[in-house]
């Protein structure tokens, strides 16, 4: 993006949903010239890289990470400008990584978000821990940019245990609030999340907002069911489930909030209309965002 600012970037959490795609995006023709290479890639298990694309040493430097050992983390991150947290739901490790980013003097921290914009939830959820990590990083004085994207498209369409979507089984169930229109739900391709991360990482931290919502495509589940019906020329059973009843199931007071079902929380947020985003991040023609039609057409 800028020829003057070419940050050194580290990603943490190679082996999850976003690691490989984010590394690919950082090293894509669209962004590779925006960064100093190699990209630092932190993983807890260097011998567990099977099945991953392995980049040469001038492109990616694979480093051992121990989130309980500050010295190991600091050594792996020394000199890094941008720390990208792609870890799963491990709040303790998030805090440790954010603290290491601060200690080594990173200019930008991208926390592990990539889901719902939980700032608007009016009930307790496991996602609250995500806000804690950003508040902590900001409290330390490091710029932290939260990226909210709704649901990963490829994880939920054509079939996702969360959100009640089962297109192969020709069934869709939407959680709906009584007397309210059926909510729209944002689905974003993992690749588009990764490209957005690369795009954010390439920019001067002072030019960035604290939060960004992105949206690959935003549909009601009924629209999704009806579209699939028209594609296959056979009926899809579309039903609704009452929000109040569903929320009692998900927000079970007998289960500690961190142990509650993440999938249930996604479905609840969708039902509350809290996953209805529009795209705040223009790719300025650098890449084409994947739509639900693209996904279902295998594009
Ligand atoms: N919006 C959506 O639909 C959606 C779906 C899935 C995930 N997400 C979000 O995407 C982010 C990544 O999720 P994910 O599904 O990829 O998570 P994950 O598979 O559970 O974990 C990602 C990586 O974190 C590292 N890791 C595992 N256990 C760890 C521990 N105890 N401490 C520190 N690191 C550990 C591992 O990387 P190494 O083995 O390389 O160390 C692992 O591959 C999360 O913020 C998650 O909430 C969003």
- Encode the chain (299 residues) as per-residue pLDDT tens digits: 546 899 999 999 998 999 999 999 999 999 999 999 999 999 998 887 766 678 999 999 999 999 999 999 999 999 999 999 999 999 999 999 999 999 999 999 999 999 999 999 999 999 999 999 999 999 999 999 999 999 999 999 999 876 899 999 999 999 999 999 999 999 999 999 999 999 999 999 999 999 999 999 999 999 999 999 999 999 999 999 999 999 999 998 788 998 899 999 999 999 999 999 999 998 878 999 999 999 999 88
Which among 86, 90, 64 has a CA at the least distance from the CA of 77?
64
Model pLDDT, residue 3: 64
- Which of 12, 21, 88 has the most ligand 1 atoms within 8 A of CB, as the residue to mutate? 88
- DSSP string across 174-200: EEE-TTSPPPEEEEE-HHHHHHHHHHH
The whole-number pLDDT of residue 46 equals: 84
Q: Give the pLDDT of residue 4.
A: 86
Alpha carbon distance 208, 203 (integer Å): 7
Q: Does the reported pTM lie above 0.95?
A: yes
Termini Cα distance of the chain: 27
Instruction: Enumerate domains of the chain plus CATH numbers.
Output: 8-150+188-215+276-286 (3.40.50.720), 153-185+218-271 (no CATH)
User: From CA 35, how far away is CA 27, in angstroms rounded?
Assistant: 9
In angstroms, what is the span from residue 297 Cα to ligand 1's centroid?
28
Length of the chain, please? 299
Ligand 1 atom closest to 48 (CA): 39
Selection from 208, 227, 179, 198 nearest residue 280 by Cα: 208
Residues within 6 Å of ligand 1 by CB = 13-18, 43-45, 67, 86-90, 93, 112-115, 149, 151-152, 155
Helical segments of the chain, H only: 19-26, 70-77, 91-103, 128-139, 153-156, 190-202, 221-232, 243-250, 262-271, 292-296
Burial of 189 from C-beta contacts in 10 A (0-12 / 13-18 / 19+): buried
Residue 284 Cα to ligand 1 middle (Å): 29
């Amino acid at each position: 993006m800028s020829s003057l600012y070419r940050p050194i970037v580290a990603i943490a959490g190679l082996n999850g949903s976003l690691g490989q795609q984010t590394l690919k995006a950082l090293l894509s023709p669209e962004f590779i010239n925006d960064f100093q290479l190699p990209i630092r890639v932190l993983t807890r298990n260097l011998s567990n890289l099977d099945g991953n694309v392995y980049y040469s040493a001038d492109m990616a430097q694979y480093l051992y990470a121990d989130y309980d050992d500050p010295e190991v983390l600091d050594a792996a991150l020394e000199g890094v400008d941008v720390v990208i947290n792609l870890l799963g739901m491990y709040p303790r490790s998030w805090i440790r990584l954010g603290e290491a980013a601060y200690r080594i003097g990173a200019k930008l921290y991208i926390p592990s978000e990539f889901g719902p914009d939980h700032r608007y939830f009016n009930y307790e959820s496991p996602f609250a821990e995500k806000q804690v990590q950003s508040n902590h990083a900001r409290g330390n004085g490091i710029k932290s940019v939260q990226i909210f994207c709704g649901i990963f498209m490829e994880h939920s369409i054509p079939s996702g245990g969360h959100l009640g979507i089962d297109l192969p089984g020709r069934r869709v169930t939407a959680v709906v609030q009584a007397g309210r229109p059926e909510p729209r739900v944002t689905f974003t391709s993992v690749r588009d999340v990764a490209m957005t991360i690369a795009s954010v990482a390439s920019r001067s931290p002072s030019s960035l907002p604290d939060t960004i919502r992105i949206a690959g495509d935003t549909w009601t589940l009924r629209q999704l069911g009806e579209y699939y019906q028209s594609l296959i020329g056979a009926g899809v059973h579309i039903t609704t489930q009452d929000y109040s009843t569903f929320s009692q199931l998900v927000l079970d007071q007998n289960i500690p909030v961190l142990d509650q079902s993440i999938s249930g929380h996604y479905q609840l947020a969708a039902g509350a209309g809290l996953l209805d985003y529009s795209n705040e991040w223009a790719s300025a023609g650098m890449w084409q965002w994947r739509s639900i039609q693209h996904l279902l057409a295998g594009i």
